[in-house]
Amino acid sequence: MFCPLCKSEYRAGFTECSDCHSKLVATEAEANGQQVGTFWKGYDKTRFECLLTALQHANIPHRFAEHVKYRPQSHSDYEYGIRILLSDVEHGEEILRKLEEADKAEDLDVD
Ligand SMILES: [Zn+2]
């Protein structure tokens, strides 16, 4: 069994990836046939955590990474990235839009 998102191999009997909760597929070829893309990337940790929570609530399997970026003339910073299956991208973008709308609504309240 293989995870289409992490591409890791699991023993028979497993049905779900323990890392990203994707449904496992039977063969490596099938797993490799499912493309993975970057869903979001940025330096905003609050937004990053907010997106992870939203993806969890929507049951969209995802993987994330943190990289330290050394930027000249500036303090080093963490860059965050989230990857999801391309088949989930449409659903994911809907979530992004809703978050942005919620942000705008909050801004209006403040004004
Ligand atoms: Zn996985």
**20-60 tens-digit pLDDT:** 999 999 999 999 999 999 999 999 999 999 999 999 999 99
Grouping H, G, I as helix, E, B as strand and the rest as coil, residue 31 is helix
Among 7, 29, 5, 15, smallest CA distance to 82 is for 5
- Beta-carbon neighbours within 5 Å of ion ligand 1: 3, 5-6, 17, 19-20, 22
What residue ranges of the chain are covered by domains with CATH 3.30.70?
35-110
pLDDT attached to residue 75: 66
Burial class (CB in 10 A: 0-12, 13-18, 19+), 61: buried
> Is 0.85 topped by the overall pTM?
no
**H runs (alpha helix) in the chain:** 28-33, 45-57, 89-110
Separation of 20 CA from ligand 1 center, angstroms?
A: 4
CA dist., res. 27 & res. 44, Å (int) = 37
CATH topology of domain 35-110: Alpha-Beta Plaits (3.30.70)
Separation of 61 CA from ligand 1 center, angstroms?
A: 8
